[in-house]
Amino acid sequence: MLVTIEAVGDSWVNAHSAQLQIRQAMINKQDIVLDFCNEGPSFALLGLHKILDNYNPAYVVLHRYPNTAENLPYVRTFNGLSHFWQMSNQYAQTVASWQGEKRFGLFLGRRTRARCCIMYQVAQAYPQQVLLSSMSQPNGLPFDIDDYEKDQGWDTTPAKAWWDNNTIVSIDNHAKNDQWDPQQNTNSDLLKHYPRFGIEIVPETYTLGDTFFVTEKTVRPLRSGKPFFSYGPKHFLTRLKALGFKTWDLIWDEDYDNYSSVQRWNKIKQQLDYLYQLDNANFAQIVAHAEEIAVYNQSVLLDMLGQNIDSKRI
């Protein structure tokens, strides 16, 4: 039986219908093919390990499932990297170094509870020093959605009040659904604003559970040479390093990579607070060093894609 798993970030969209299909197949002792549609949620986060407990692993196949972080006893039809790496060819360009306008940049597509809370806190903490952008989208705010973020400890009350009374526009005039239109250059258009800030705050798509699924949110700064903090799952940076990338642990504290969810964000914000309090000269020096590492990462990514003509390393 083919069962489609529709996951959107830390949310399982078709959980009820998919679980019914899986349990029916188990009753009938059928083979089960779980098609993750090239998305990378945590298997355990979705509760699939509990559903399939005591079912013969030989009967289960994971199809189009690029999250290789979890050690699972099932056959995989795909063991490669996220398709977002190759998609970076669509917006391959090096951007100019920081021009000194703002210190941080934070860009939201789909609104989630965590992302909205993070944007609220950043807007409050670093006024005039953060470039914010939020794509317009038809659905409302996510604070009452019943998803895996709901019990993670986010203080949504002040964030909700702020979002109800503030409109964060899209700096490139794109809407959320433009991301799926090949005629819309959503990432290329956003890169035009990269010289305006020094360090990006990247809110990844899959942030809970044991997962490593890199999307355009991370590939974009890697491809364009921009330093960043990663609000992603636990050990996200460690797994980037395993691919050959360097991170910024010699420039700022990356202990946050040992945490997830609210704890991860609180650790990141401690570093942002430190950078925000620096004088202009010291912050500019840190960004210059961080950009050297970002340029190195550009070369690593081109190596991965088989496109690196100059393989020199800094």
- What pLDDT does 89 receive? 80
Mean pLDDT of 164-179: 78
Q: What is the pTM of this model?
A: 0.93
Q: What is the mean pLDDT of the chain?
A: 91
End position of a domain, from candidates 80, 107, 140: 80
End position of a domain, from candidates 80, 102, 127: 80
Q: Strands, E, within the chain: which ranges?
A: 2-4, 32-35, 60-63, 75-76, 102-108, 130-134, 197-203, 228-231
- What pLDDT does 7 receive? 94
- What pLDDT does 216 receive? 92
Same domain, 269 and 140: yes
Mean pLDDT of 87-96: 78
> Helices 216-224 and 280-304: crossing angle, nearest 10°?
100
Q: Is residue 311 assigned to a domain?
A: no
Locate tokens 């019914």: which residue?
Answer: 20
Same domain, 292 and 216: yes
Query: pLDDT band at 180, cuts 50/70/90?
Result: low
Q: Is residue 69 assigned to a domain?
A: yes
Q: Which domain holds residue 60?
A: 2-80
Helix (H, G, I), strand (E, B) or coil at 199: strand
Please name the amino acid found at residue 176.
K
Q: Is residue 309 assigned to a domain?
A: no
Query: pLDDT band at 178, cuts 50/70/90?
Result: low
Same domain, 101 and 227: yes
Instruction: Summarize pLDDT for 17-76 with one digit per residue, the tens.
Output: 999 999 999 999 999 999 999 999 999 999 999 999 999 999 999 999 999 899 999 999
Query: pLDDT band at 198, cuts 50/70/90?
Result: very high
- Tell me which of 153 and 184 has the higher pLDDT: 153
End position of a domain, from candidates 55, 80, 105: 80
- What pLDDT does 76 receive? 93
